[in-house]
Amino acid sequence: MSANEIIRVSGLKKYYKGDKIKALDGVDTVIHHGEVVVVIGPSGSGKSTFLRSLNLLEVPTEGEIYVNGENILAKGADINIHRQKMGMVFQHFNLFPHMTILRNMTIAPMKLLKKSRAEAEALAMELLEKVGLADRANAYPSQLSGGQKQRVAIVRALCMQPDVMLFDEPTSALDPEMVGEVLEVMKSLARDGMTMIVVTHEMGFAREVGSRVIFMADGRIIEEGEPRELFENPRSERLRTFLAKVL
C-alpha cells in the first residue's frame, strides 16, 4: 500500500439473481488522496453499484475493498465508523424532510461525533455560508429548490468531515439551470483537495477538475486515464462509441 493510497478495490463482483445479472464483474482500481475520479459509462454499466459498494450500501458478492489499509469486508470491521469517513451525495438528495436544513446538517455530528450543538452549528453555518445558503438554515427541505437541496446535501455530508466524498449523478435530477450551481460547489471542493469519486454525465466537469476518468461497461473498467488523454485518444471501440454519443 503506497502512502497516499486511500481506497484499493480488487476483484470486486456483484451479482444479482444468482449470477444472472453481473452488475460488477471484476473491478480493480486504486484511489489516491486528493484524486478526483470521474466514473462514466452507459446506463446499467455498474457505475452506481461500484460507488455504492465502496460504503457497502451494496454488499459485494466477491472481492476486496481496503480503505486506509483496512479490509472493510472483514468480519470484525466497523462499517459505521467507515461510513462516517466517507460522505455520499445521492441523485435525489435524500434530505430529511422533517428536519430543518441546520438540523439535517448537525444531527450526525452531534449524535455520532458527540459534538456540542454550538460546535456542530458553527461548522454547519460556515459551510452553508460557503454555498450561499446561510439564510436558509431554518427552512425545511420542501422549501428549497432542487439545486439548493443538492448543495445542502453536499454540505450535510461535509459536516462529518469525511476523507472521501462519493457522488452518484448529483446533477441528473436537476433542472438544467440548476446544474451549474451544484457543479460549482463540487469544483471548489475539488480545488480544496477533497478526494472525490463522481459518477456523472457532465464531461465538462471531468475535463475541468477530474484527475482521472474511469470508463465502465458491463460491470468492468474498460479504460481509465487522465481526462484529456482519454477523451481525445480513446483506445477502445466501446469508449469511442460512448463518447460519440455524449460529447
Partner 1 sequence: MKAWFADFAADFRLNFIDGSMWKWLVQGLKNTLLITFFALLMGVVLGVVVAAVRSSYDKNRETMALHKGFGYYVFTFVNGICKLYLTVIRGTPVMVQLLIMYFIIFASSRNDILIATIAFGINSGAYVAEILRGGIMSIDNGQFEAGRSLGFNYVQTMLHIVIPQVFKSVLPTLCNEFIVLLKETSIAGYVGVMDLTKAGDLIRGRTFSAFLPLIAVALIYLVLVVVLTALVGVLERRLRKNER
Ligand X SMILES: Nc1ncnc2c1ncn2[C@@H]1O[C@H](COP(=O)(O)OP(=O)(O)OP(=O)(O)O)[C@@H](O)[C@H]1O
With beta carbons less than 8 A apart as the criterion, state whether 209 and 187 touch.
yes
Query: Which residue among 35, 37, 45, 170 contacts ligand X (CB under 6 A)?
Result: 45
Write out the binding residues for partner 1, residues 69-128 only, by CB under 8 A.
75, 80-81, 83-84, 86-88, 90, 92, 94-98, 107-108, 111-112
- Cα–Cα dist 95/162, whole Å: 18
* β-pair partners for 27: 12
DSSP letter at 234 equals -
Cell digits of residue 166: 462519493
**Least Å from the CB of residue 242 to ligand X:** 12
Considering CB distances under 5 to 8 angstroms, the limit depending on partner class, which of ligand X, partner 1, Mg ion, none binds residue 1?
none
Query: Which residue among 12, 48, 157, 238 contacts ligand X (CB under 6 A)?
Result: 48
- Which three-class secondary structure state does DSSP give residue 27? strand
Gap between the terminal Cα atoms of the chain: 36
- Cα–Cα dist 247/175, whole Å: 20
Neighbouring residues of 179: CB distance < 8 A, sequence distance ≥ 6: 147, 171, 202
Query: Which residue among 21, 74, 79, 246 contacts ligand X (CB under 6 A)?
Result: 21
Q: Does 20 bind ligand X (CB under 6 A)?
A: no
**Least Å from the CB of residue 77 to partner 1:** 11
Considering CB distances under 5 to 8 angstroms, the limit depending on partner class, which of partner 1, ligand X, Mg ion, none binds residue 87?
partner 1
* β-pair partners for 199: 39, 168
Q: Does 46 bind ligand X (CB under 6 A)?
A: yes
- Note the residues at the interface with ligand X (CB under 6 A): 16, 21, 23, 41, 43-49
Residue ranges that bind partner 1, judged by CB under 8 A: 55-57, 59, 75, 80-81, 83-84, 86-88, 90, 92, 94-98, 107-108, 111-112, 140, 142-143, 156-157, 160
